[in-house]
């Protein structure tokens, strides 16, 4: 496929270290609160990317961390550990809230049809890994100790700013208003690999290390976890666009300095979901969650559909009106799929042609909206229903909109509702508990009542051709299969 690469600012064919196999890494959630639907936009798009790579025939090993330590309130090593803040807010221990919000995250993912990565690793489970890397970085002269902490020395790098050509002013993340600058740093963008002297005496989780009892910085987690489970050569690294700097920039700095060779050539960044008033944030009071969408009567998959309608490299504006529109369109789509009949044989040649087109279109920098267009193209096409269903099932292995499952459910619900209606009046159908047949018989009775004999005969013939024998009885009909 063609993918835009944030590191080169270009769209190019995606090439992996081992042809046909993708080592993929995703920055996981910081589990101090629920994920907001902005976070989940990133995970939805990364999920489609993984599924598309598999659809192309690759094997994929996808790894994700769970940040349960070390992510401070500011991405530049200042402020309080977010986990500690969450624990204090809820009068629980850090591990309790980590477990609670990790489970909540995967529950949201399940509702949004986001597949669980092959490996999910909490950051607190890989301390030895970070210690090994930090020790080597100190030995190689890429790190230094100051004021009790271990820092990465960005001045030792040939090139630090990988994703952008910011000037120094833009990158002054360490000197945000009201936040004390860390005077131990030799260079402004140096970052903490290991904290031993934290301003926060009550930091909950601490481990022994060659530099004293402490805890790892946020960036080292992802390098350590990725190297452990993806190996030395990572093919594809994903995250939201806010992760590009400083998080991913620092991951590259420490990983390549440690390995002594290039680490990951392809960087995939999902742009933000914003509200009309700006960026979505977990720390700003009430925020939008999957549960809130459900409480308001939305199907979480309508939100997935909404995300797929637009390109991952564009900011997306969330509003209830936009979600209403997406939900309306999604429901109509399901209705159209439900109208397809499960009969006949799929035309293998036609399936191959449409699949190829889907591969080309979605394969152009993960163009998910064209993926949805491909679904409508199939529905409109001059193909038999079996072929259409085969194609929809195939595309849905990537889009994961539960098209045929939802359609089956809709048919079932409608049949049930209609069957119930058939006994509601003075006409009762008794049979073998098949709502669709009940419904046909009911429609035949209705047609007779309306003196629409042609329709009544047509239904009688259809029932006959399906091997159903109908006997009229007072107040209704009884049927059985012959």
Total residues at interface with ligand AMP (CB under 6 A):
17
**Distance between CA atoms of 246 and 188, rounded to whole angstroms?**
12
Q: Say whether residue 239 binds ligand AMP (CB under 6 A).
A: yes
Q: Say whether residue 79 binds ligand AMP (CB under 6 A).
A: no
- State the chain's maximal CA–CA distance in angstroms: 94
CB-wise, 185 or 282, nearer to ligand AMP? 282
Q: Say whether residue 29 binds ligand AMP (CB under 6 A).
A: yes
- 468 within 8 A of 438, measured Cβ to Cβ: no
- Find the binder of ligand AMP among 242, 347, 385, 455 (CB under 6 A): 242
Which of 136, 124, 146 shows the shortest CA–CA distance to 225? 124
Of these partners, Zn ion, ligand AMP, none, which one is at the site of residue 240 (CB under 5 to 8 Å by kind)?
ligand AMP
Residues with Cβ within 8 Å of residue 241, at least 6 apart in sequence:
269, 270, 271, 272
CB-wise, 306 or 354, nearer to ligand AMP? 306
Q: Which positions from 9 through 28 interact with ligand AMP, judged by CB under 6 A?
A: 27
CB-wise, 211 or 298, nearer to ligand AMP? 298
**Distance between CA atoms of 66 and 102, rounded to whole angstroms?**
8
As a whole number of Å, the end-to-end CA separation of the chain is 53
The DSSP H or E segment spanning 191 is strand 191-195
- 170 within 8 A of 203, measured Cβ to Cβ: no
Q: For the CB of residue 252, give the shortest distance to Zn ion in the complex, in Å.
A: 11
Q: Say whether residue 41 binds ligand AMP (CB under 6 A).
A: yes
Phi, psi of 150 (to 5 degrees): -110, 130
Q: For the CB of residue 324, give the shortest distance to Zn ion in the complex, in Å.
A: 34
Q: For the CB of residue 284, give the shortest distance to ligand AMP in the complex, in Å.
A: 11
CB-wise, 271 or 304, nearer to Zn ion? 271
- Find the binder of Zn ion among 35, 133, 222, 389 (CB under 5 A): 222
What binding mask, one character per residue, do residues 26-45 give for Zn ion by CB under 5 A, x or -?
-x------------------
Q: Which residues of 22-56 are buried (b: 16+ CB within 10 A; e: fewer)?
A: bbbbbbbbbbbbbbbbbbbbbbbbbbbbbbbbbbb
The torsion of the CA quartet 406, 409, 413, 414, rounded to 10 degrees, works out to 70
CB-wise, 243 or 422, nearer to ligand AMP? 243
The region of 37-45, 90-98, 125-133, 294-302 touching ligand AMP under the rule CB under 6 A is: 37-45
- Write the DSSP assignment of 323-383 as a string of letters: HHHHHHHHHHHHHHHHTS-S-S---HHHHHHHHHHHHHHHTBTT-HHHHHHHHHHHHHSS-
What binding mask, one character per residue, do residues 181-220 give for ligand AMP by CB under 6 A, x or -?
----------------------------------------
Strand duo 191-195 + 149-152: pairing: antiparallel
CB-wise, 273 or 290, nearer to ligand AMP? 273
Q: Which positions from 260 through 289 interact with ligand AMP, judged by CB under 6 A?
A: 270, 272-273, 279-280
Q: For the CB of residue 133, give the shortest distance to ligand AMP in the complex, in Å.
A: 21
**Distance between CA atoms of 62 and 121, rounded to whole angstroms?**
11
Q: Say whether residue 237 binds ligand AMP (CB under 6 A).
A: no
**Distance between CA atoms of 299 and 84, rounded to whole angstroms?**
33
Q: At what angle do helices 82-90 and 94-111 cross, to 10 degrees?
A: 100
- Write the DSSP assignment of 203-260 as a string of letters: -S--B--TT-SBEE-HHHHHHHHHHHHH-S---EEEEEGGGIIIIIHHHHHHHHHHHS
Of these partners, ligand AMP, Zn ion, none, which one is at the site of residue 223 (CB under 5 to 8 Å by kind)?
none
How many alpha carbons lie under 13 Å from residue 94 in its C-beta half-sphere?
19
Q: Which positions from 240 through 299 interact with Zn ion, judged by CB under 5 A?
A: none
- Find the binder of ligand AMP among 5, 6, 42, 310 (CB under 6 A): 42
Q: For the CB of residue 39, give the shortest distance to ligand AMP in the complex, in Å.
A: 4
Q: Say whether residue 38 binds ligand AMP (CB under 6 A).
A: yes
CB-wise, 27 or 290, nearer to Zn ion? 27
Q: Which residue is nearest to ligand AMP (CB)?
A: 240
**Distance between CA atoms of 38 and 296, rounded to whole angstroms?**
17
CB-wise, 82 or 388, nearer to Zn ion? 82
- Find the binder of ligand AMP among 217, 240, 246, 476 (CB under 6 A): 240
Q: Which positions from 306 through 365 interact with ligand AMP, judged by CB under 6 A?
A: none
Binding site for ligand AMP (CB under 6 A): 27, 29-30, 38-39, 41-42, 67, 239-240, 242-243, 270, 272-273, 279-280
Binding site for Zn ion (CB under 5 A): 27, 222
């Amino acid at each position: 496929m063609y993918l835009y690469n944030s590191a080169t600012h270009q769209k190019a064919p995606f090439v992996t270290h081992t042809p046909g196999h993708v080592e993929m890494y995703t920055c996981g959630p910081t589990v101090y609160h629920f994920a907001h639907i902005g976070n989940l936009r990133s995970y939805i798009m990364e999920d489609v990317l993984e599924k598309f790579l598999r659809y192309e025939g690759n094997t994929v090993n996808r790894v994700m961390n769970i940040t349960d330590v070390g992510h401070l309130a500011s991405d530049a090593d200042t402020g309080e550990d977010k986990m500690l803040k969450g624990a204090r807010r809820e009068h629980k221990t850090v591990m309790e809230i980590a477990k609670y919000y990790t489970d909540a995250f995967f529950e949201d993912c399940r509702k949004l049809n986001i597949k669980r990565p092959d490996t999910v690793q909490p950051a607190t489970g890989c301390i030895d890994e970070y210690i090994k890397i930090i020790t080597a970085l100190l030995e190689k002269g890429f790190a230094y100790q100051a004021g009790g902490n271990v820092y990465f020395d960005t001045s030792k790098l040939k090139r630090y700013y990988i994703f952008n050509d910011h000037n120094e002013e833009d990158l002054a993340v360490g000197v945000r208003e009201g936040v004390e600058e860390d005077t131990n740093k030799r260079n402004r963008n140096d970052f903490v690999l290991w904290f031993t002297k934290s301003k926060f005496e009550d930091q909950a989780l601490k481990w022994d290390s060659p530099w004293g009892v402490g805890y790892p910085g946020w960036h080292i987690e992802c390098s350590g976890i990725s190297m452990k489970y993806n190996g030395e050569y990572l093919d594809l690294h994903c995250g939201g666009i806010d992760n590009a700097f400083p998080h991913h920039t620092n991951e590259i700095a420490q990983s390549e300095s440690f390995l002594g060779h290039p680490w990951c050539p392809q960087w995939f960044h999902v742009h933000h979901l914003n509200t009309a008033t700006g960026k979505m944030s977990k720390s700003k009071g009430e925020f939008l969650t999957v549960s809130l969408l459900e409480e308001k009567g939305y199907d979480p998959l309508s939100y997935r559909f909404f995300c797929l309608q637009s390109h991952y490299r564009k900011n997306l504006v969330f509003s209830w009106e936009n979600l209403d529109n997406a939900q309306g369109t999604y429901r109509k789509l399901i209705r159209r799929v439900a109208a397809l009949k499960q009969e006949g044989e799929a035309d293998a040649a036609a399936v191959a042609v449409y699949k190829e087109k889907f591969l080309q279109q979605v394969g152009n920098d993960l163009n998910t909206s064209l993926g949805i267009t491909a679904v409508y193209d199939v529905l409109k096409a001059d193909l038999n229903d079996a072929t259409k269903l085969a194609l929809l099932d195939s595309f849905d292995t990537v889009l994961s909109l539960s098209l045929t499952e939802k359609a089956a459910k809709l048919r079932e619900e409608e049949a049930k509702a209609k069957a119930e209606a058939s006994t509601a009046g003075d006409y009762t159908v008794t049979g073998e508990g098949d709502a669709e047949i009940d419904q046909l018989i009911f429609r035949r009775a209705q047609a007779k009542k309306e003196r629409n004999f042609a329709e009544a005969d047509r239904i009688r013939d259809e029932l006959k051709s399906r091997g159903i024998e109908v006997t009229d009885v007072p107040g209704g009909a009884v049927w059985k299969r012959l």
